[in-house]
Each structure stands twice: as structure tokens, then as C-alpha cells.
């Protein structure tokens, strides 16, 4: 049965997107995304004549493979960002602790500190004072780098994408669907917020059970596509 169209409420950023994508991963693992009863008809089947010469099964397989690739890539992308964000913050916290714990040492005279060490008689070099000088220099350099990092580079903030819900999923889906259009039709889809290609994407998005997005989200992305297949393929995926 054809899925009903819905309008989304704004999500809460990348963490919410990742949660929704993990749910899609479980759906993929449990069975086909487009699995339906034999008597049911999917909205995407109306596009079979244009894109697969009327072969409904081929269109289903193509859309399902696109969806699985998109879900896997989105999960990796968002998961890597979330993990890197947490590690970045932990790294800053660790550097802050190093700074606090080493301030007293960096304020000391290495020559006076070296008097507190006793070197084994057979050890000729380097002397404690030389080692302490190097250690203090390294600690000062670490603090200089930490201060620069803190002042000029910010840890990523988990915020919603500029186009609303599921920005990463949307971008990857549109990119894969444009590739599909290029393979089947031989050219980029026309730039515009409406048309057969946009309707195909909107129907596929609903049939796949992807999270709700604003009604114009997919069309807006198509309207911003580059003008040539060559320039499109140079874009990072």
C-alpha cells in the first residue's frame, strides 16, 4: 500500500539524525526496506516505465540498493562525527589537566630542580638539568598549542542541518538518485523543485520509510544541482 505523505517537525541535530539512521539500519537487517504484500502496490512503481522500461522489480531493486548504500554511508558519516566530537572534547579536557598539573613545574628553575636528583655513577649524560630543561620546554609548547587550539578552533556543535531534518541522509540520497538518473536516462535531471525526478525521489523516500522531512526538501536540493554531469561527479560524496 502506498505510504501517506507527512510533514516533519524539526529534529534536534545530528544526534537525533544518527538515532533515526540506526533505526533504519535495524530495518535493513530485519528485511527488505521495500518488502510489501504481493497485492500491494508501491508509489514508485508508477515511475518504472520512465526509468526501467516498465520493469517494476528492477526499479524496486535499484531503489532499495540506493537506500541501503545511503543508510550505511550516513551512519558512518554521522557516527564518525559524533565519536570525533567526543574525543576532541576529551582531548581538550586532558590538555587542560596537563596545564593545571604542570604549572608549578614550568615555573621552576631546572638547575635547582636537578639538585633533587641523583644520577647513577656510570651514567655520563644527559644530566638531570638538561632533561628537565627539555621537559619544561615541551610542556610550555604543549600549553602554547592548547591555548591556540582553544582560541581559534571550536569543537563541533551537534546542530540540525540548514535544510532541516536529516540533512546528511537527504544529501546522500539525492546524490545517489542523481547517479541513478544519469545511468538510466543518460543526463542530469532538470534543475527544478518539481518534475518527474523530484516526484520519484519523494515517492521513494516515503516508500522506504525514511524519516519525515519538509515537503520541499528534496526539490530544493535538486534546484541547486550543478549544471553538468562532469561538475556533479567532481563533488565530494
pLDDT digits (tens, 9 = 90+) for 103-150: 999 999 988 888 888 878 777 678 888 899 999 999 999 999 999 998
Domain that holds residue 94: 84-152
Whole-model pTM: value is 0.60
**126, 152, 178 — which closes off a domain?**
152
pLDDT digits (tens, 9 = 90+) for 14-73: 677 778 888 888 888 877 677 654 445 788 888 999 999 989 889 989 999 999 999 998
**Residue 4 lies inside a defined structural domain of this protein:** no
**Residue 102 lies inside a defined structural domain of this protein:** yes
Q: 92: cis peptide before it, omega within 30°?
A: no
Contacts of 133 (CB under 8 A, 6+ apart): 110
**152, 176, 208 — which closes off a domain?**
152
Number of domains forming the structure of the chain? 2
Residue with cell 535493513: 28
The pLDDT assigned to 123 comes to 73
Same domain, 96 and 122: yes
Quick check: 83 and 18 in contact, CB under 8 A?
no
Same domain, 75 and 90: no
Residue with cell 526539490: 219
**152, 187, 211 — which closes off a domain?**
152
Task: Indicate the pLDDT class of residue 13, thresholds 50, 70 and 90.
Answer: low
CA distance 122 to 169: 65
CA distance 183 to 226: 17
**Residue 1 lies inside a defined structural domain of this protein:** no
**Residue 179 lies inside a defined structural domain of this protein:** yes
pLDDT beyond 60 at 235: no
Same domain, 105 and 58: no
Same domain, 222 and 169: yes
The pLDDT assigned to 45 comes to 86
CA distance 187 to 57: 23
**Residue 49 lies inside a defined structural domain of this protein:** yes
Amino acid at each position: 500500500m502506498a505510504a501517506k505523505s507527512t510533514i516533519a517537525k524539526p529534529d534536534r541535530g545530528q544526534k537525533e539524525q544518527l538515532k533515526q539512521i540506526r533505526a533504519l539500519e535495524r530495518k535493513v537487517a530485519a528485511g527488505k526496506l521495500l518488502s510489501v504484500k504481493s497485492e500491494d502496490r508501491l508509489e514508485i512503481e508508477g515511475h518504472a516505465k520512465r526509468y526501467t522500461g516498465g520493469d517494476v522489480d528492477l526499479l524496486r531493486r535499484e531503489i532499495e540498493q540506493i537506500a541501503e548504500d545511503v543508510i550505511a554511508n550516513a551512519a558512518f558519516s554521522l557516527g564518525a562525527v559524533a565519536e570525533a566530537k567526543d574525543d576532541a572534547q576529551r582531548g581538550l579536557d586532558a590538555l587542560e589537566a596537563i596545564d593545571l598539573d604542570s604549572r608549578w613545574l614550568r615555573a621552576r628553575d631546572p638547575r635547582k630542580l636537578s639538585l633533587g636528583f641523583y644520577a647513577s655513577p656510570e651514567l655520563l649524560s644527559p644530566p638531570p638539568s638538561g632533561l628537565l630543561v627539555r621537559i619544561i620546554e615541551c610542556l610550555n609548547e604543549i600549553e602554547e598549542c592548547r591555548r591556540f587550539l582553544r582560541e581559534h578552533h571550536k569543537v563541533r556543535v551537534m546542530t540540525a542541518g540548514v535544510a532541516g531534518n536529516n540533512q546528511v541522509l537527504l544529501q546522500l540520497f539525492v546524490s545517489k538518485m542523481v547517479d541513478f538518473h544519469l545511468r538510466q536516462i543518460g543526463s542530469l535531471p532538470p534543475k527544478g523543485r518539481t518534475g518527474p525526478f523530484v516526484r520519484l525521489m519523494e515517492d521513494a523516500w516515503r516508500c522506504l520509510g525514511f524519516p519525515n522531512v519538509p515537503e520541499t526538501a528534496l526539490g530544493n536540493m535538486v534546484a541547486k544541482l550543478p549544471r553538468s554531469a562532469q561538475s556533479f561527479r567532481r563533488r565530494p560524496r
